[in-house]
Chains A and B, each alone.
Chain A
Amino acid sequence: MNVAALTLPFSFEQPQWLWLCLLIPALVALSLRSLAGLEPVRRVLALVVRSLVIVTIAISLARVLHVRENENLTVLFLMDRSDSVPEDIQASQESFIAAACEDPPPHDRVGVIDFARHAYVQQPPYEGGYYLEPGRLPRMPNPDRTDIASAIRMAMAIFPHDTAKRIVLLTDGNDNMGDVLQEAATARADGAVIDVVPLWYQHRNEIYFDRMVAPTNAEEGEQVPIRLVVHSRRRAVGAIDLYHNDRKVHLPPEFARVELAPGDNVFLVKLPIRTGGPQRFEARFVAEGGSGVDAISENNTATTFTFVAGKRKALVLSKEPTFDEGFVDALRSEKVDVDLRDVSGDDIVIDLLEMLNYSTIILSNVPAYNFTDEQLEMLSSYVKDLGGGLIMIGGDESFGAGGWMGTPVEEVMPVSFEIKHKKVIPRGALVLIMHSCEIPRGNFWGKEAAKKSVDTISSRDYIGVLAYTWSPGGVNWEVPLGLVRNKAAVKNRIDKMQIGDMPDFATTMDMALEALVKTDASQKHIIIISDGDPSAPSRRTLDAMVQAKITCSTIGIGYGSHVVERTLRDIATKTKGQFHPCRSPRRVPKLFMKESKVVRRSLIDEKPFRPKLEYAFSEVLTGIDADEVIPPLQGMVLTSPKPMALVPLVRPTKEGPDPVLAHWQYELGKTVAFTSGYWPRWGYQWTQWPSFAKLWAQVVRWTMRQEAPANFEVYTRIEGTRGRVVVEALDKDASYLNFLNLPGAMIKPDQTVAPLLFTQSGPGHYEATFDVDQTGQYIANVNVLDGADDLGAIYTGVSIPFSPEFRELSTNETILQQVREVTGGRWLGGIDEPGEVDVFSHDLPPTIAKQPVWDWIIAWLLLPLFLLDVALRRLASWLAFSIAVETVVLVFLLVGVGTAYSGLWGVLGTILLAELIGWSIRFRSIGPMLASITHTVTVLGRAGERSTAALGQLKSTRDRVREERTSAGETPDRAAPPIPDRSARFDAGEVKGAAVGDLHESLGGAKAQPEFKEKRRKPAGLGTEEAGQEDEDTTSRLLRAKRRARRGMEDEKKDKGD
């Protein structure tokens, strides 16, 4: 069918159905008999229409396609906005596109895609050129990588199917992610051509840190060799600074002024390592001469790290260090090495590498919202994947009360922060008023924040969400105020919100007030997020909130654009809430978590109690006598034990024991929960307890991470976009360890975990690979299993200090030439010459577009043909038939194809065509019809003449009788009534008979024959009996005429047959 497609405007997907057309001759043969009663013209028409019905059914089943050849062109510009392209060239790209599209051909389309790590459509293919105003493209997210292949894929996805496809690729060719050539070949196969506009640059004066190499593992007290490789394009002078664990190292004086030769320059430094744990090294090169000598500053830094086996150590993160000093002293008295860090500020600065310095981390009354989401993930990974220990110690900012509910940390803890076993606890009620649409992606962040609030409050609390949305009514309860029994359902409703532009605060605040007053919650709180430009609430509303003890905190967004702080501050101040200016949308969820703590206060129970030893055989309570009196505690945070957790200390209650001390092993790590506190408010008697130090030393030691085996060599290296972890396994006798099982995990810079699948590639030699697509630290944990024996865990890692984009010093012309050759595109020269480039040249083959039209045929051909077929057989009147045909043609043409020929001339042409068809059919009947009218008038005239003659005859008879009587001497009396003239009555009947003839015809019978009418004529003066006889004769004559007609038709058939 392809050949046909090139020559005909139609093609068929399943042409075998066209064999149905062979049924047409059979249909004609059958129809000749069934349509015998029709006139010859009608019969032929009916046969034609029925044949057309068969044809349309056949081509519909064959799935007919409309084949259209399109000369139009779509040009998609792909703009490289990665870091490797200098800023001035990035700006020139838009000017180039605007200039190249100044005068596009009328129906050609232009689209724009920009790309770096990902590709984004900035202008879909539009007719008329480039519409975007230069300089208004949004900031490119993740410009630290270049993936040209993804941009080509995106282009192929948005190309219209019915135009020629041209991609104009503006790039420096320095791709570091995908396979450009393969994607270009795929695009070529799909009919696209890629023209290349190279973005020329060359950094002639450039210095960068090629690499910094340190051993993966080292021993405490060892001298660690560090090799620095600095690359320079030409001779240069500068200084090298080295930092060890963020402290500057005093290097020999020659490092203060080093001379670089063109190419790689290698420097070696040896540093003594005095502490255990991961050692972080960072080197910086500062060139003399500034940017004139070194164009890119981002690539002058290198980092690496070394894992040093040493003493195990614990880290205490404390919100109030003074309360934790006694605890730290107690641990040190038990020979536990421990560091104390003050984290009373808003943000905690710690990363995974720093966590690995410690074998266990203790969170002493630290709220979750002080950590970033990434840090919460790190804490979880630290336990699960790296085998670290985690201890959470209670207080009003810990467990559920500290917003830890729903975080990744809750998953690894031995207690659930939800209260499942209590029947009655005080409730909190929280209403969120959302007006977050005023910042870019504001509704996304607003929804994330609202969901975070749902996560961090207890299922015993109330939550409701109000917003001005685009649904009817405007202000609506998107989540009606109710208990958070099903958090997933509530979050689902939040996700569906269409947050709109709120005109005023009063309406939403009044609704929140009315609903909150009706709840039985002990804590009632409202959080408003807005840019503050809705109309302020009335004083009456604020006073009512104060009276109902409802607090309201406000979060101001839109900094950098507009924020009306005054309104937001007023609301917070008057209702005893807090105002939070929020300059980064990423902070919004944290602020919601923080503010939601108001309703979490109900999780704190401050009734004094004495803990009961429930399970004396716990490892952490070794040495604590079951009969020993445990000092009382003054309060705790309510939690529920998890099924597999051990709970040695509890608070007995009527509704079951509340966990006080619980612990378990979760994947590779161990965690402990102490739901009360040893600080003065709750546990002042505990610090004086003789077993206090012993207990906590045991707890901390139990959680500490296991040491790694020392006889394993592990190192990591980067090979392009892949990383490789290599393990050399030796036993104590330096013999290779074969057939080991090495389950491992790689924690990437964004804290996602990728499994490491090791395969043995030589005696004692194991390798695994991982994707390197981010900048930062990659840390691997490898567990060593020899059969069932756990030999411990080993750590390794690698650091990517800067994006590979900053390694590129010039345009990669080779790859661009290859792309052009693969797709048969053109080399369009420089970006500074847009006038020289005709991106719209129509030198590509036209596009053949195939569109299914079988549904259109069924709707607009088959149905009208069916109607015509019925009309032909059922509408005996030619006039009615002509109207039906005219209507069908009108509707079909006006609606069915009118779209292609719209406008006044199309309408007029359609009407003309329909009228022509209608009148040509009508012409068949108009002659007889006019003859019928003329005949009626003539008959009526004749009847009048006969009546006049009869009247004259009557008058003469009367006169004659009168004369006869007068002559016989009779007195003339009243004149006798005239005897009706029979001929006049007969004439009237004749007119009626003509009408009967019409009716007969209109009912579909055969047309009355003229001679039949003639035979009905009777002489005047026929009597009544004769009239009855005449009726009878009429019936018999009708029957005879019918028989005659039938015989005539049969004779005609025979004649044709002969």
Chain B
Amino acid sequence: MSVRYAVLCVTPLAFVTAGCDPPALTPTGVRAVFGTQGLGPGAFVYPRAIAVGPDRGIYVVDKSARVQRFSPEGEFETLWNMPQRKAGKPVGIWVGPDGRVYVADTHYSRVIVYDRDGRELARFGQPGTGDGEFMLPTDVVVDADGFIYVSEYNGNDRITRWSPDYKFVSVVVAGKVAGQALARPAAMDIDAEQTLWVVDACNHRILRLDCSGRLLACFGEMGEGAGQMRYPYDISVTPQGTIMVCEYGNSRLQWFAMDGTPLGTWGSRGRKLGQLWAPWGAAVGSDGNICIVDSLNSRIQIVRP
């Protein structure tokens, strides 16, 4: 009898406790969702790249050539337009530790650097296949010494290194890597050991390179199973030291250990909460929250699986 009374007393307590700290929206760990289809503030037209700044601000660039900044909770803060958009829209964005925003202005073959409020600080690169030139740049990362790395594709699939004052330094990697020619290096990230992690999207694999381009690791193949990928379009090194890959073709995230051991996946194709449709990118904040560009659903999902 007394047990039943104890249960009765604990039940309301549990409700009160739950009310004080709202649980995740779904069992899959979605913390927040924001964005809809449109041209207004907070709306997207096929968003394609995302980055999280040191202040946990979320930066998204979409196919209307707008960069939008959101608070860590998904509140719209500001937006700015790319200087030109007729020839095409950017597919890559990176926020450096100093808060500078680097946008790979893909179809204009250049990288534009902004401050956090959208004031242009610099731009570099021009169309071409030579030194200091890009075909279609896809992503930018900056190492601890301030050197900038830019990946590009379409007849010139390679990664180049640029000085902190935006001067061309060298070609890090180009041509064949581990028996296969680079095919659309779609995104990069850099870890604490200053090694580059690259998604070789159309070869469906991950490459780990040192800053001079020496191959340290290569893993992955096309497929839907664990350790397999289909068009990985983004990559991030998580605070836990794992590698998170965003798969455009499989509409999911997948985690790997540094040695390539698959650790698990999250997401499936669909429109519901916790589902993704053709995601182009994902970024991890310092708080461990993962922000995913759910491209075809024109929204951003913040998750903590």
Contacts and interface: CB of A to CB of B under 8 A. Distances in A.
A533 B277 contact: no
A474 B249 contact: yes
Contacts of A507: 202
A131 interface: yes
Interface string B35-68: 0001111010000000000000000000000000
Nearest to B66: A133
A878 to B, nearest CB: 12
A533 B12 CA distance: 59
A922 B1 CA distance: 13
A474 B231 contact: yes
A777 B101 CA distance: 58
A904 interface: yes
B234 interface: no
A566 B155 contact: yes
B6 interface: no
Interface string A491-515: 0000000001101101100000000
A136 B88 CA distance: 16
B276 to A, nearest CB: 12
A1058 to B, nearest CB: 42
Contact of A915 (B12, B20, B248): B12
Contacts of B1: 929, 933
Contacts of B12: 911, 915
Contacts, number: 80
Contacts of A133: 39
A918 B7 CA distance: 13
A567 B157 CA distance: 13
Given A500-B278, A908-B19, A131 B154 contact: no
A45 B230 CA distance: 64
Interface string A902-924: 00100110010001001000100
A473 B184 CA distance: 19
A535 B249 contact: no
B202 A472 contact: no
A908 B16 contact: yes
B19 A506 contact: no
A645 interface: no
B153 interface: yes
A136 B153 CA distance: 30
A929 B1 CA distance: 9
B272 interface: no
Interface in A518-569: 533, 535-536, 538, 560-562, 564, 566-567
A560 B40 contact: no
B31 interface: no
Interface string B162-183: 0000000000000000000101
Contact of B136 (A126, A501, A533): A533
A957 B101 CA distance: 103
B86 A560 contact: yes
B19 A907 contact: yes
Nearest to A887: B11
A504 B157 CA distance: 13
B16 A883 contact: no
Contact of B41 (A131, A538, A918): A131
Contacts of A538: 181
B228 to A, nearest CB: 13
Nearest to A472: B269
Nearest to A471: B269
B296 A474 contact: no
A562 B105 CA distance: 13
B8 interface: yes
Interface residues of A, number: 38
B207 to A, nearest CB: 16
A36 interface: no
A503 B155 contact: no
Contacts of A536: 154-155
A302 to B, nearest CB: 38
A562 B95 CA distance: 27
Interface in B103-143: 107, 136
B202 A506 contact: yes
B112 to A, nearest CB: 17
Interface residues of B, number: 36
Given A133-B39, A907-B19, A503 B157 contact: no
Contacts of B198: none
Contacts of B192: none
Given A131-B39, A132-B40, A560-B86, A904 B201 contact: no
Contact of B38 (A131, A472, A506, A911): A131
Interface string A873-916: 00000010001000000100000000000001001100100010
A918 B8 CA distance: 10
Nearest to B186: A503
A136 B86 CA distance: 12
A567 B136 CA distance: 13
A470 interface: yes
B154 A470 contact: no
A560 B38 CA distance: 23
B20 A904 contact: yes
B38 A535 contact: no
Given A536-B154, A566-B155, A567-B155, A911 B16 contact: yes
Contacts of B18: 907
B249 A561 contact: no
Given A561-B86, A564-B154, A879-B4, A503 B40 contact: no
Contact of A132 (B16, B39, B107, B248): B39
B15 A907 contact: yes
B43 A535 contact: no
Contacts of B16: 907-908, 911
B278 A470 contact: yes
Contacts of B43: 131
Contacts of A562: 87-88, 107
A929 B183 CA distance: 78
Contacts of B88: 561-562
A883 to B, nearest CB: 7
B296 A470 contact: yes
A917 to B, nearest CB: 12
A933 B184 CA distance: 78
Contact of B154 (A126, A567, A890, A911): A567
B8 to A, nearest CB: 7
Given A474-B231, A504-B184, A506-B183, A883 B8 contact: yes
A752 to B, nearest CB: 35
B231 A503 contact: yes
Nearest to A903: B19
Given A470-B278, A566-B155, A535 B202 contact: yes
A131 B40 contact: yes
B43 to A, nearest CB: 7
Contact of B248 (A473, A503, A908): A503
Nearest first, the 6 closest Cβ-Cβ pairs linking A and B are A131-B40, A504-B202, A907-B19, A562-B88, A474-B249, A535-B202
Given A132-B40, A561-B87, A562-B107, 20 more contacts: A126-B40, A131-B39, A131-B43, A136-B39, A470-B278, A474-B231, A474-B249, A503-B201, A503-B202, A503-B231, A535-B183, A535-B184, A535-B202, A536-B154, A562-B87, A907-B18, A908-B19, A911-B12, A911-B15, A918-B8
Interface of A: 126, 128, 131-133, 136, 470, 472-474, 500-501, 503-504, 506-507, 533, 535-536, 538, 560-562, 564, 566-567, 879, 883, 890, 904, 907-908, 911, 915, 918, 922, 929, 933
Interface of B: 1, 4, 8, 12, 15-16, 18-20, 38-41, 43, 86-88, 107, 136, 153-155, 157, 181, 183-184, 201-202, 230-231, 248-249, 269, 277-278, 296
28 contacts: A126-B40, A131-B38, A131-B41, A132-B40, A472-B269, A474-B249, A501-B278, A503-B184, A503-B202, A503-B231, A503-B249, A504-B183, A504-B202, A507-B202, A533-B136, A535-B154, A535-B183, A538-B181, A561-B88, A562-B88, A562-B107, A890-B15, A907-B16, A907-B19, A908-B16, A911-B15, A918-B8, A929-B1
